[in-house]
Amino acid sequence: MKAENHTELSEFFLLGLSDDPELQPVLFGLFLSMYLVTVLGNLLIILAVSSDSHLHTPMYFFLSNLSFVDICFISTTVPRMLMNIQAWSKDISYVGCLTQVYFLMMFAGMDTFLLAMMAYDRFVAICYPLHYTVIMNPCLCGLLVLASWFIILWVSLVHILLMKSLTSIGTEIPHFFCELAQVLKVARSDTLLVNIVLYVATALLGVLPVAGILFSYSQIVSSLMRMSSTEGKYKAFSTCGSHLCVVSLFYGTGLGVYLSSAVTHSSQSSSMASVMYTMVTPMLNPFIYSLRNKDVKGALGRLLSKAASCLRTKRML
C-alpha cells in the first residue's frame, strides 16, 4: 500500500494540558503571568548589563545572551498556546508546527552552549586569574557565541529537512506545543534516520556541553581545595553559585521530562514536566542571578533609579 504523503496535511491538533473548560481561564491567566514575568525579568537583565559599564565583562556578556535566548525560547511556545486557549482552538498549521520545532531546538541548544561557556569563564577566572583578561578577550567571547549560533542553526535545519521527508503523519499531538519527540511519535513512516541524527545531535548539544561544565567545575573544585584562605574559597565559589543553580535547574527539569516520558509513558505527565523547562526555568533565571549577585542587583537598582528619575522629569515638564 502506498504511503500517504505528509504534505497533504494542512494542520495538527495540540491536545494541550487539559480538556476541562473550567480550567482554561486558570491556565490562561497562569501562563500569561509567567510569560510576562519571564520577558520582563530577562529584559531587565539585558538592559542592566548593557547600560552598566561595571558589567561589561565576559560573564555578564554570556548572561545577557542567555537572557535573550530565554525570551526567545518561551516566546516560541507560550503565545501560541495562549492564543489557542483564548480562541478555544487546538489547531496549528503544519508549517507552524515544524517552525516551532526548529526554534525550540535552536534556543534549547543555545542554552546548553551558553551554560558551558559560562562554566568555562568561571574556570578561567578561578584557575588562571592572572591570564583571565588575555584568555577571555572580547574577540574570543564573540567568536564562541557566533560559532554556537552557526552550529545550532544548521543542526536544527537538518532535523527539519529530515522531518519533512516523513510520510503519513497523524494529526493529533498530545502536547501543548510541537515537541520533537511527540511529533516523531505520531509519524507512521520509518523514523530511523531522524532518530539517529537526533541521538548524534543530543551528544553534540547535550553531552559535550555537560562534559565541559563537569570538567570546568572539577578543575574549579581542585583549585579551591588548594587555597589556604577560607575567605578566598568562599568568595571564589560564590561567583559560581548562580551559574550552578541555573545549570541544575535547566538539566534537572530536562532530565525530569525524559524520565517522566520513559517511565510513565503518559503524555499528560510529559506535558506537565515540559512546563518546567520551557516556562519555569526561563522565568527563574533572572531571579537567581539578580538575588544572588550583588553586581546585578546594584546595576538593576541604578537602572530603575534612572527610569524613575526620567519619569519624574517628564511629569514636571
Q: Each residue of 216-265: pLDDT tens digit? A: 999 888 888 887 777 767 776 777 878 888 888 888 777 766 665 555 55
Written in H, E and C, the secondary structure of 145-190 is HHHHHHHHHHHHHHHHHHHCCCCCECCEECCCCCCHHHHHHCECCC
C-alpha closest to that of 163 among 189, 141, 137: 189
Coil, strand or helix: which one is 12? strand
Q: Most confidently modeled of 63-67, 200-204, 308-312?
A: 63-67
* pLDDT recorded at residue 207: 82
Q: Each residue of 92-102: pLDDT tens digit? A: 887 888 888 88
- Tell me the average pLDDT across 202-208: 77
Coil, strand or helix: which one is 229? coil
Cα separation, 132 vs 54, whole angstroms: 16
Give the lowest-confidence range in 58-72, 109-123, 140-154, 194-208. Answer: 194-208
- Name the band, by pLDDT with cuts 50, 70 and 90, for residue 199: confident
Q: Which domains does the chain have, with CATH numbers?
A: 10-310 (1.20.1070.10)
Give the lowest-confidence range in 55-64, 143-152, 305-314. Answer: 305-314
Pairing label, strands 91-93, 11-14: antiparallel
Q: Cα angle at 39 between 35 and 44, to 5 degrees?
A: 150
**Number of other residues whose CB lies within 10 A of the CB of residue 203:** 11
* pLDDT recorded at residue 261: 56
- Tell me the average pLDDT across 4-12: 54
Cα separation, 105 vs 152, whole angstroms: 8
Percentage with pLDDT > 70 across the chain = 85
The three cell numbers of residue 202 are: 543530543
Q: Each residue of 164-193: pLDDT tens digit? A: 776 545 577 777 788 777 777 766 666 677
* pLDDT recorded at residue 191: 64
Query: Could you tell me the CA-to-CA distances from 202 to 55, 134, 192 in Å, in that order?
Result: 33, 32, 15
- Name the band, by pLDDT with cuts 50, 70 and 90, for residue 9: low
End-to-end Cα, the chain, rounded Å = 77
* pLDDT recorded at residue 74: 92
C-alpha closest to that of 267 among 24, 13, 11, 15: 15
Residue 145 near residue 199, CB atoms below 8 Å: no
Residue 32's Cβ-count burial label (10 Å; 0-12, 13-18, 19+) is middle
If residue 28 lies in a helix (H) or strand (E), which one and from where to where?
Answer: helix 24-51
* pLDDT recorded at residue 317: 65
* pLDDT recorded at residue 139: 95
Q: Cell 567571547 belongs to which residue?
A: 141
Residue 108 near residue 73, CB atoms below 8 Å: yes
Asked whether residue 7 carries a pLDDT value surpassing 50, the answer given is no
Task: Read off the DSSP letter of residue 3.
Answer: P
Residue 172's beta-bridge partner residues?
13
Average pLDDT for the chain = 80
C-alpha closest to that of 114 among 88, 145, 160: 145
* pLDDT recorded at residue 160: 84
The three cell numbers of residue 171 are: 494529526
Query: Which residues, 6+ apart, have CB-to-CB distance to 125 below 8 Å?
Result: 59, 132, 136, 239
Q: Cell 480538556 belongs to which residue?
A: 19
* pLDDT recorded at residue 213: 92
